[in-house]
């Protein structure tokens, strides 16, 4: 996999632990936790927007 331009959330400020995001050459969005950078989740932009919308709307519940 080519090196990606990982960006961390602006909400993380100077914190070392954060969620990072990158867009891969195939246009998929990649997410990772800075504490475990080898584990990467890939999603289409549409799937990520749908997921974030469901989180914001409280549609996923808590377990």
55 pLDDT exceeds 70? yes
Q: What is the pLDDT of residue 45?
A: 96
Residues sharing a CB contact under 8 Å with residue 14, sequence separation 6 or more, in sequence order: none
Whole-number Cα distances in Å, 22 to 1, 42, 44, 45, 57: 13, 10, 12, 11, 24
63 pLDDT exceeds 70? no
pTM of the model: 0.76
Q: What is the pLDDT of residue 13?
A: 74
19 pLDDT exceeds 80? yes
Burial class of residue 58 (count of CB atoms within 10 Å of its CB; 0-12, 13-18, 19+): exposed
1 pLDDT exceeds 70? no
CA-CA distance, 47 to 11, in Å (whole number)? 22
Q: What is the pLDDT of residue 47?
A: 97
Identify whether the C-beta of residue 28 lies closer than 8 Å to the C-beta of residue 44: yes
């Amino acid at each position: 996999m080519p090196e990606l331009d990982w960006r961390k959330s602006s909400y993380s400020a100077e914190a070392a632990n954060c969620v990072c995001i990158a867009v891969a050459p195939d246009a998929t969005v990649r997410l990772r936790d800075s504490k475990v950078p080898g584990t990467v989740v890939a999603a289409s932009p549409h799937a990520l927007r749908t997921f974030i919308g469901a989180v914001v709307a409280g549609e996923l519940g808590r377990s």
